[in-house]
A and B are shown apart, each in its own frame.
Chain A
Amino acid sequence: MPVSVEPTSVDPSQNGSAPVPTEADTQTSADAQESPEALRPHAENAFADELAALAAQDDRPRPARWKLSPWAVATYLLGGTLPDGTVITPKYVGPRRIVEVAVTTLATDRALLLLGVPGTAKTWVSEHLAAAVSGDSTLLVQGTAGTPEEAIRYGWNYAQLLAHGPSRDALVPSPVMRAMAEGMTARVEELTRIPADVQDTLITILSEKTLPIPELGQEVQAVRGFNLIATANDRDRGVNDLSSALRRRFNTVVLPLPASAEAEVDIVSRRVDQIGRSLDLPAAPDGIDEIRRVVTVFRELRDGVTTDGRTKLKSPSGTLSTAEAISVVTGGLALAAHFGDGVLRSGDVAAGILGAVVRDPAADRVIWQEYLETVVRERDGWKDFYRACREVSA
């Protein structure tokens, strides 16, 4: 039968014995009075106004224990303007279809698996989904190679256990367990990093919607509203691949890389700007051209085809994600600021690009040189870039 688990039974100070991700627990106790000093507030706090406005005007049916209707959740993520004029900022810039499928999945009792290469906003989307659906994005299990079963099921407070024997009081529930009991949305980050045997503890939770506690002869049954969002890295496929039994419990949504070059240039320059400011780098006046060039190179190699769609290319083994483009540009800016004349030039990014592209010294180098010789060399206005790349690749 359903047993409600009191949040109060979670005492972070007693957590040491069970390597439950402390993040989740500390957040739980902290989320009520999140301090404005927080380096990064949770989604439900940062966008509390928008959520409230949406909830106020949302007259569509809501699934049990959902704070918003599915339609409103999609609006929260994709942005829009409410009838009363409240502007909802877009949290995710990408195909509408993806958000719709994700929200719809959560509305059914299937779990949601967000796949994508690093830097495609998987975690970001999952956090905002949880915030919009359950009003709480903190029920989080971070998947690592060392994530134990306790992190997904429950652990024990050993002092209590020794003193009073097994009881509900001695139990330290995992975020998943709490989500089940309260009908909330739980999140599992980097699911494929978790060892296969630990992953499989999710099967019962997702199919039977129950979590047995054999030590007590009890179980926690999920109440309506419970669901789970997992994220996994495309590139990790095969590390700890999901068993087909587990895979079957998920609806999979693949988050794509930015669709257009302009969108990506925009993302990169914005992020570079933020990072640059936090590193106190001087602003680069004409950096945008170089950023565009970096993004173009990354996109072309990643997609295996030139921007004009006329020439196919081999793709190197690296991810070449937007995040990497950001780090190349940031590195270039630092070079330009500290060792150059402060203007971002080809030479500043060339070495970074080479490092990002050539991950496998043999195969990738050939791919890179082919790209240089067949595409870059011919391109108008890319002479300096070609020369800089030749220099570092030689």
Chain B
Amino acid sequence: MAGTDGKAGPGRGPLLLGVRHHGPGSARAVQAALAAARPRVVLIEGPPEADALVPLAAHEDMRPPVALLAHAVDEPGRSAFWPFAEFSPEWVALRWAVDHGVPVRFFDLPAAHTLALREHEEEAEHGTDGGQGETTGRPAGAGPEPEPGAKAEPGAKAEPEPEAEAEPGAMPSAAGTRPAVRTDPLAVLAGAAGYDDPERWWEDVVEHRGAGEDPLAPFSALEEAMGALRETEGTEGAKGPEPHGEPGAADEHGRDLVREAYMRLQVRSAQREFPEGVAVVCGAWHVPALRRKSTVAADRALLKGLPKIKVDLTWVPWTNRRLSRSSGYGAGIDSPGWYGHVFGAADRPVERWLTKVAGLLREEDRIVSSAHVIEAVRLAETLAVMRGRPLPGLSETTDAVRAVMCEGSDVPLALVHDRLVVGDVLGEVPEEAPAVPLQRDLTRIQRRLRLKPEALERELELDLRKETDAERGRLLHRLRLLGIGWGEPAASRTGTGTFRETWRLRWEPELSVRVAEAGVWGTTVLGAATAKAEADAVAAQHLAEVTALAERCLLAELPDALPVVMRVLADRAALDADVGHLAQALPALVRSLRYGDVRGTDTGALAEVAAGLAERVFVGLPPACAALDADGAEEMRRHVDAVNGAVGLLADAADAPADAAHAPADAAHAPADAAHAPADAAHAPADAAHAPASAPGPASASGSAPDAGSVPAPGPASVSAPDPASGPGDLRARWRRVLRVLSVRGTVPGVIRGRSVRLLLDDGELPADEAARLMGLALSPGTPPADAAAWIEGFVGGGSGGGMLLVHDERLLGLVDAWLTGVPAEAFTDVLPLLRRTFSAYEPGVRRTLGELVRRGPGARGGTAAGGTGLPGFAPEPDTARADAVEPVVRLLLGLPAREGASGRPGPAGSRTGGRTRQDTDDNDLAGVRV
């Protein structure tokens, strides 16, 4: 068959070198064959558009692994990669040709067609199997396929499947799918040879075989095998698609025919030009097809009417990790580092490899002596003999390393795999290479959004309710994720609404470099940001980093990155034993949840993770609260507060109506208070939410929420008597159970116990007299004064509105008063600082009122139980007539519909979205005031 132009006669046909893509053995064989045959033109499987880029391969700044990247000019997200490693036969051929001044031509189907074909198929198939749809001729065997398996390797050589792929994100449809069962010709060959693993068979038969006498012999043997295979495959291929019901399989077969037709035409024309001395390097699978005689007309007919789009090609740097299968869109090589070693090692590859491994382990401070290396080599060789392999392969050396150097542990072995078997090699591309598509995509978006990159710093106000502004915001957030700091978020000058963003923009020249660097992540801003966010999530060290990343993903609207981030988040949360960390992460997460909600992002996964996180906090909190010192207790109290707020929001976010019902119910507890509410709100709006609930009164109220946007609410009953149903209410109910546990457990510090009681009381979960009982318990003489003071701090301390609570519930005030007067003189100085801290945080008005109440003495407190107060300046009963007068104004302010009987006109914002309405009610619980 293959003739060298020296020996074999001209016209005997081209020298066909069938290879396994990325096979080091193939690469060596190709090198030997080319050196022996000295062809005058080399045809390499790859997109012909790349012919112009060939000279760059010889550039001194060009270092493999690199990839040819083809992308549609007007849609950079549609792209395909042809990676080349140092040990790829195609690369070897390329370099050989360039070094010897022999012209090189890529002769696969042009990328213009393959990319267009892909589009075609996607439309037809809804992108369900992008995995195969694409096409690209698999030149180097490989496109970055998102589908990790793709059996790429064997397939790669035999390549019945196409692989090039778009980068993830840009083609989400492709990313998730993996080609269904696909016939694997090499597996058939390997099976015939008695191997269960086709990889190993290929390694043994081809890759690990030493250089034979005749450099061309292996190729002819391979061609024969492939020819036989294709015969059987051909028959199977016909019925192939049906069993799988997969349209792709048929298409693929068809595309192979088209590609081969094109290749044949190219080979033919090359032969006309260089009648003797055409060498062809392509996947072994194609060799028989190229050998086959076929008429030009038939081939042309196959190529007729192929769709076509405008494409651009360039070289991009690649990494070993991306070549490897595990990275998600590699070339299907498990062990690029090992292959590189096998290809590069002058002799004794096993010894050299194990020495390398020993060196790595030593660097990591493992004790590995030369004796270990010797033993490992012996074990590897004996294993190879026992397994009947000609030479120890990667699996033998790995077994030897595990047993001898790693003491059977897989942990150091993972390091070896990561650093050596895969390897950290990063390719380089000369600056002269055409611009990466990411830059083009960015330019396009900038033009569309009318955001010019300017060196001058300027501020940009975005109103996210407008489509363009929202997109701008997303773009800036995505760029920030990619480390392209064009815009920095700034504090807004005009407002603090969640729909507003302020950015400080400034385009520095070096940002172009950053864009080029970010090109590794993808070809579009969206795709690159998604890939980067996913990588960041996996690399993140702390839980808080991941939550922050989740927030940024929402801001940048990267829905495809969210699942990965959420997974990592869930994993981290599961393994984090510090309740503090979890409690810290929860509010941020819930915040993102609400924020995502505002922007209409799907946050289902987020809500699930948040709920899981809350669950873990619930379980871990009680034990974590035991035996804390004062500082620890204070910190834990803050966590309790944070979790309480987060649980409330979480339940709200998951179930909007519950929220609407919640606030009014609180207020409804004490209708008597309604009259005071405006006054309270005036001097301490923050207190408003708590104050009404605190007043003793009917434990429940009737009626449903008057909120316009709400669906029939569970009703106030669910607040006063929570039923442990499922759903968010369930979450809240379980949180209350945790609080109950905290409130009565003796080992829990006073400040947390007090706080728990207070939160339960505010929630209407704890009847006021039960709270009073607990307070009495905490303040009883048996409790050390310091602990009791801490309890008071927790119960009514700080800016939590505790002052109003004491003002309204004189029984509680009486308890505090009685306890305080009972504190022995010597202990008083100890508790004084704490008490001072507790009470000094109150509003002056509250303090004064308290003071007056206390001065008036216990006599005046007789009839307070019913909710009437003897407060100076307040009537004992609310004046409903005066309250009614205020109500319309309040409703107007809050955008609530007028009450029945009133004007009947819908509120100004009656048609707002649920999110907005909810926000309003949160901002001001007065919404629930019922008069």
Contact = CB atoms under 8 A, between A and B. Distances in A.
A71 B781 CA distance: 82
Nearest to A97: B399
Contacts of B371: 248
Given A101-B399, A312-B570, A312-B575, A251 B382 contact: no
B575 A113 contact: no
Contacts of A115: 407-408
B379 A70 contact: no
Interface residues of A, number: 35
Interface string B385-404: 01100000001000110111
B193 interface: no
Nearest to A309: B567
Contacts of A252: 402-404, 406-409
B612 A374 contact: yes
A363 B379 CA distance: 42
Contacts, number: 89
A251 B403 contact: yes
A63 to B, nearest CB: 10
B615 A253 contact: no
B907 interface: no
B58 interface: no
Residue among B371, B382, B406, B612 with max Cβ neighbours from chain A (10 Å): B382
Given A107-B382, A251-B375, A374-B616, A311 B399 contact: no
A251 B404 contact: yes
Given A251-B403, A373-B615, A311 B383 contact: no
A107 B403 CA distance: 14
A244 B570 contact: no
Contacts of B367: 244
Given A251-B404, A311-B574, A104 B619 contact: no
Nearest to B568: A312
B350 to A, nearest CB: 15
Contacts of A107: 382, 386
B402 to A, nearest CB: 8
Contacts of B409: 252, 254
B382 A373 contact: no
A110 B369 CA distance: 16
B519 to A, nearest CB: 33
A370 B382 contact: no
Interface string B463-493: 0000000000000000000000000000000
Interface in A363-380: 363, 365-366, 369-370, 373-374
A314 B386 contact: no
Interface residues of B, number: 35
A74 B383 CA distance: 12
B685 interface: no
A322 interface: no
A335 B610 CA distance: 40
Contacts of A369: 619
B571 interface: yes
Interface residues of B, dominant DSSP: helix
A108 B379 contact: yes
Residue among B404, B574, B612 with max Cβ neighbours from chain A (10 Å): B574
Contacts of A103: 386
A196 interface: no
Contacts of A113: 408
B372 interface: yes
B620 interface: yes
Given A71-B386, A311-B574, A362-B623, A370 B408 contact: no
Contacts of B379: 101, 104-105, 108, 110, 251
B583 to A, nearest CB: 14
Contact of B386 (A74, A247, A248, A366): A74
A201 B431 CA distance: 65
Interface in A221-255: 244, 247-248, 251-254
Contacts of A362: 623
A316 to B, nearest CB: 12
B618 A248 contact: no
B378 interface: yes
A290 interface: no
Interface in B588-621: 612, 615-616, 618-620
B378 A108 contact: yes
A104 B386 contact: yes
A281 interface: no
Interface in A70-85: 70-71, 74
Contact of A370 (B372, B395, B410, B619): B619
B577 interface: yes
Contacts of A313: 574
Interface string A92-119: 0000010011011101101001010000
B416 to A, nearest CB: 15
A118 to B, nearest CB: 16
B584 to A, nearest CB: 18
Nearest to A112: B403
A70 B620 contact: no
A200 B528 CA distance: 57
A314 B375 contact: no
A269 to B, nearest CB: 29
A24 B375 CA distance: 31
Contacts of B406: 252
Contacts of B386: 70-71, 74, 100, 103-104, 107
Given A248-B371, A366-B620, A374-B612, A104 B383 contact: yes
Interface string A309-330: 0111110000000000000000
Contacts of A370: 574, 615-616, 619-620
Given A248-B371, A252-B408, A312 B620 contact: no
B367 to A, nearest CB: 6
A252 B407 CA distance: 5
A104 B381 CA distance: 10
A246 B364 CA distance: 22
A372 to B, nearest CB: 8
A244 B369 CA distance: 11
Given A100-B383, A252-B403, A253-B403, A312 B619 contact: no
B571 A312 contact: yes
Given A104-B379, A252-B403, A374 B615 contact: yes
Nearest to A102: B403
A251 B375 CA distance: 9
A373 B577 contact: no
A92 B571 CA distance: 34
A254 B616 CA distance: 34
A107 B402 CA distance: 17
A248 B369 contact: yes
Contacts of A74: 386
A71 B388 CA distance: 10
Residue among A97, A101, A107, A244 with max Cβ neighbours from chain B (10 Å): A101
Contacts of A251: 375, 379, 403-404
A366 B623 contact: yes
B372 A248 contact: yes
B575 A314 contact: yes
Interface of B: 367, 369, 371-372, 375, 378-379, 382-383, 386-387, 395, 399-400, 402-404, 406-410, 567, 570-571, 574-575, 577, 612, 615-616, 618-620, 623
Given A248-B369, A366-B620, 14 more contacts: A100-B383, A107-B382, A108-B375, A110-B404, A115-B408, A244-B367, A251-B379, A251-B403, A252-B402, A254-B409, A311-B570, A312-B571, A312-B575, A374-B574
Which 7 residue pairs are nearest across A and B when measured between Cβ atoms? A252-B408, A254-B408, A312-B574, A312-B571, A251-B403, A252-B407, A104-B382
Interface of A: 70-71, 74, 97, 100-101, 103-105, 107-108, 110, 113, 115, 244, 247-248, 251-254, 304, 310-314, 362-363, 365-366, 369-370, 373-374
11 contacts: A71-B386, A101-B400, A105-B403, A107-B386, A108-B378, A108-B379, A108-B382, A115-B408, A251-B375, A251-B379, A311-B612
